[in-house]
């Protein structure tokens, strides 16, 4: 057509180009949007990765720190492992031969105990050669020392202190400790020490010596079904252990060459003595005598005998009679008289009490005081009837009158017996409980806790010289 392009065809092509450009633009926009979405997700992943990486590094550092602390703790535990030995010293008693040796015995006891414990621990643990051994013995020294002295196991209560001091010095971690008077004091110390150390990882093993007392069961039973804990405890048996302890799933061991296998006796052995005194050699036996009166139970408070006789320094009840009568009346009787058996009195707790004695008249008190002002008199000579001290510096002659002797006996009663409540000496003239009712037990008092408001003063038993005993009903 005249050589010109058809405009309609051109327009159609232009429209095709426009449509193609629109599709290309749409495609490009779609690609760009998808790219932006992927980029955003990528950045999020990168952030997450970085966070994880940092968290892992923190955890790694924390783990490394914990490992270092654990290693240090293990090194500390391994550098100071020890074995703990807890002993109730009021019930687990050392052998008599060790106690009687006092200072030497304490050292020997510590050496023996250390050797026995070391041997036991090495039989259970291969690496226990360098473990320290800590021994804690808790006891009431006052009661135990006087008890041992009364049984003649030690000569004097002070020897227990010497024994303990030597025991403590022999081994650096051995302690024989006085917890004072009181039934539960040693128990409380042992229970609390067990509670504290059972959870201590440095405490590899515990030997527990208290199987004589049911009171410790509640402290041991929680570990009965925990094999790991039960295997760390060994029960030390001295006297026969209470049967229930055998069911605790814990090992038991004995140290018979160190501790007594039998309890301490209630009182020392007293040989039997004739109950009827023989007549003096110079006095012939009568051909016929009146029937002898039946034996009379000796009263706790001594009363004058029906047939008065001259008192002797050994008869405390006679001095009470002298104080009440003031005179000695002589009577003649052909009936055979039995000398009342001497006895001493104890309360229900086994503590010795003092029989009451009368007060002498004022004149006798003044007379004795005048005598003492010139020179002190010998207590043994005038109250026991003899003095075994060859070089005694105190006055013997002339012998005191009966009433002066009664004054002296009252004065001696105000001094505390060294064996205290555990004294079994029938000739002891010292006091065993403070006789001053209003005394508050201050530092000036010789009797410590032994006062009427701190102990039972009701007599429960009488012990006779012939070794027999009798339960008594005492008025009031």
Integer CA distances (angstroms), 271 to 268, 340, 346, in order: 10, 18, 20
For residue 311, the model assigns a pLDDT of: 41
Q: Which two tokens stand for residue 55?
A: 């968290």
Instruction: Please give the pLDDT value at position 322.
Output: 35
- Domains for the chain: give ranges and CATH numbers: 80-254 (3.40.50), 316-471 (no CATH)
By C-alpha distance, which of 105, 99, 89, 92 is closest to 157?
A: 99
Sheet holding 251-254, edge to edge: 174-178, 132-139, 82-88, 203-209, 233-237, 251-254
Residue-wise pLDDT for 268-305, tens only, equals: 544 444 433 333 443 333 333 333 333 433 333 333 34
**Within its chain, how far is the Cα of 191 from the centroid?**
11
Residues 421 and 419: their CA atoms lie apart, in Å, by 7
Residues 322-330: contacts with CB within 8 Å, 24+ apart? 322/358, 322/402, 322/403, 322/406, 323/357, 323/358, 323/359, 323/360, 323/403, 323/406, 324/358, 326/361, 326/403, 328/402
pLDDT for position 283: 39
Give the pLDDT confidence score for residue 268 in this predicted structure: 56
Q: What are phi and psi of 290, to 5 degrees?
A: -70, 155
The whole-number pLDDT of residue 264 equals 86
User: Which DSSP helix (H) or strand (E) runs through 178?
Assistant: strand 174-178
pLDDT at position 473 is 67
Task: Give the pLDDT confidence score for residue 471 in this predicted structure.
Answer: 84
Give the orientation angle of helix 102-122 with respect to helix 158-170, to 10 degrees. Answer: 40
- Residue 53 host element (H or E): helix 7-79
Report phi then psi at 236, rounded to 5.
-95, 120
At 472 the three-state DSSP class reads coil
pTM of structure: 0.50
**Structure-token pair, residue 177:** 């400790």
Along the 476 residues of the chain, how does pLDDT read in single tens digits? 566 667 787 788 888 888 888 888 888 999 999 999 999 999 999 999 999 999 999 999 999 889 888 877 777 666 789 999 999 999 999 999 999 999 999 999 999 999 999 999 999 998 888 899 999 999 988 888 888 988 889 988 889 999 999 999 999 999 999 988 766 788 889 999 999 999 888 899 999 999 888 889 899 999 988 888 999 999 999 988 777 888 888 999 999 999 999 988 865 544 444 433 333 443 333 333 333 333 433 333 333 344 333 344 434 433 333 333 343 444 445 445 566 778 888 888 888 888 888 888 888 888 888 888 888 889 888 888 888 888 888 888 888 888 988 888 888 888 888 778 878 888 888 888 887 767 766 666 777 777 776 788 888 888 887 777 788 765 44
What backbone torsions phi and psi does residue 207 show, to the nearest 5 degrees?
-105, 125
Task: Identify whether the C-beta of residue 113 lies closer than 8 Å to the C-beta of residue 273.
Answer: no
The β-bridge partners of 461 are 346, 471
């Amino acid at each position: 057509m005249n050589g010109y392009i058809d405009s309609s065809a051109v327009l159609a092509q232009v429209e095709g180009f426009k449509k193609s450009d629109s599709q290309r633009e749409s495609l490009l926009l779609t690609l760009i949007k998808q790219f932006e979405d992927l980029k955003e997700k990528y950045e999020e992943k990168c952030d997450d990765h970085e966070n994880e990486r940092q968290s892992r590094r923190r955890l790694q550092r924390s783990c490394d720190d914990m490992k270092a602390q654990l290693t240090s703790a293990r090194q500390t535990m391994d550098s100071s492992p020890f074995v703990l030995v807890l002993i109730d010293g009021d019930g687990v008693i050392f052998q008599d031969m060790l106690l009687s040796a006092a200072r030497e015995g304490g050292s020997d006891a510590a050496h023996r105990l250390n050797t026995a414990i070391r041997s036991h621990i090495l039989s259970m643990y291969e690496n226990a050669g360098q473990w320290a051994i800590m021994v804690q013995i808790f006891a009431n020294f006052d009661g135990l020392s006087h008890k041992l002295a009364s049984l003649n196991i030690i000569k004097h209560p002070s020897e227990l202190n010497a024994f303990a001091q030597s025991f403590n010095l022999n081994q650096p971690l051995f302690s024989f400790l006085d917890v004072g008077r009181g039934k539960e004091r040693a128990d409380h110390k042992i229970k609390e020490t067990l509670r504290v150390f059972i959870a201590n990882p440095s405490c590899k093993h515990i030997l527990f010596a208290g199987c004589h007392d049911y009171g410790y069961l509640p402290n041991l039973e929680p570990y009965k079904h925990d094999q790991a804990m039960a295997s760390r405890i060994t029960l030390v048996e001295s006297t026969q252990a209470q049967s229930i302890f055998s069911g605790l799933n814990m090992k038991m061991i004995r140290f018979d060459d160190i501790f007594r296998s039998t309890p301490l006796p209630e009182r020392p052995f007293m040989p039997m003595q004739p109950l009827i005194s023989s007549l003096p050699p110079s006095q012939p036996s009568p051909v016929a005598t009146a029937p002898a009166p039946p034996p009379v139970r000796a009263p706790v408070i001594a009363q004058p005998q029906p047939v008065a006789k001259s008192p002797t320094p050994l008869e405390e009840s006679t001095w009470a009679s002298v104080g009440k009568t003031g005179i000695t009346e002589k009577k003649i009787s052909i009936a055979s008289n039995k000398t009342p058996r001497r006895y001493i009195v104890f309360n229900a707790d086994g503590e010795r009490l003092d029989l009451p004695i009368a007060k002498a008249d004022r004149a006798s008190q003044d007379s004795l005081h005048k005598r003492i002002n010139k020179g002190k008199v010998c207590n043994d000579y005038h109250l026991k009837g003899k003095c075994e001290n060859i070089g005694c510096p105190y006055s013997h002659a002339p012998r005191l009158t009966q009433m002066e002797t009664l004054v002296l006996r009252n004065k001696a009663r105000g001094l505390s017996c060294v064996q205290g409540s555990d004294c079994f000496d029938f000739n002891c003239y010292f006091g065993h409980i403070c006789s001053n009712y209003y005394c508050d037990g201050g530092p000036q008092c010789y009797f410590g806790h032994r006062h009427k408001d701190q102990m039972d003063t009701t007599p429960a038993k009488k012990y006779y010289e012939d070794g027999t005993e009798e339960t008594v009903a005492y008025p009031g």
